[in-house]
Amino acid sequence: MERIFAAIDSGVISNTFVGDDAFADLVRPDHDDVVEITDLSPRPGVAWTVHPDGYRPPSPYSSWVWSGTAWEAPTPMPAEGGSWTWDEETLSWVEVESSI
């Protein structure tokens, strides 16, 4: 039965392919790892870490932590209206002023 696999090199998906176990075994020696994936969204360039939740995209900032489903800032984004952007230098949310 054909399934979707990701070739992993240096912790990043380098390629995805459809095949069976025999084909994955042929591809495996050319990569750090070859793993079965069950979601079509992994694509080349997406970071891979070995966790129960599988792959994850690269962290947007070095201070953010993986929650199990998404990257989260060390402090929650303010709930007040307006647009916010993360400032990694101050580790805080900064309100973006409207240009209108």
| Amino acid letter for position 98 | S
Going by C-beta distance under 8 Å and a sequence separation of 6 or more, which residues neighbour residue 21?
A: none
**pLDDT class of 75 with cuts at 50, 70, 90:** very high
Condensed to tens digits (0 to 9), the pLDDT of residues 21-54 reads 899 899 999 998 888 876 656 677 776 766 666 6
50, 19 in Cβ contact below 8 A?
no
pTM to 2 decimal places: 0.53
- How many degrees, rounded to 5, is the angle at CA 66 between CA 9 and CA 48? 10
Structure tokens given for 2:
């054909």
